[in-house]
Amino acid sequence: AQSVTQLDSQVPVFEEAPVELRCNYSSSVSVYLFWYVQYPNQGLQLLLKYLSGSTLVKGINGFEAEFNKSQTSFHLRKPSVHISDTAEYFCAVKGNQGGSEKLVFGKGTKLTVNP
């Protein structure tokens, strides 16, 4: 079974500052990792995913994440945030074995970008 821990429930930052949203996972098998974003009163949108290969993954809206197998982490970063990045961000994991389709989510991190 897999589990996800998002280390910060809320992250306030100023516009144009860098941000890092932290995610750690636990799994007995190799995994695929995902970051989703949820804007107010909307559904979830895929930001990026790690499947294999390069540990640095680039996504939409200037976000990137780095997979660190030894630390079982998949932190999300953006070098300069905008007001429009204010949203809730969810880290998710699923096993990459055949037939393992259940996606397990963390509890989310609310990012607030202030002017």
Partner 1 sequence: NAGVTQTPKFQVLKTGQSMTLQCAQDMNHEYMSWYRQDPGMGLRLIHYSVGAGITDQGEVPNGYNVSRSTTEDFPLRLLSAAPSQTSVYFCASSYGRGSSGYTFGSGTRLTVV
- Min dist CB 9 to partner 1, Å, is 7
Q: Exactly one of 61, 72, 86, 100 binds partner 1 (CB under 8 A); which one?
A: 100
Residues 35-54 that bind partner 1 (CB under 8 A): 36, 42-46, 49, 51
Of the listed pieces 15-23, 69-77, 78-86, 89-97, which binds partner 1 according to CB under 8 A? 89-97
Does position 11 bind partner 1 by CB under 8 A?
Answer: no
CA atoms within 13 A on the CB side of 49: 11
Q: Which residues bind partner 1 (CB under 8 A)?
A: 6, 9, 32, 34, 36, 42-46, 49, 51, 90, 94, 96-108
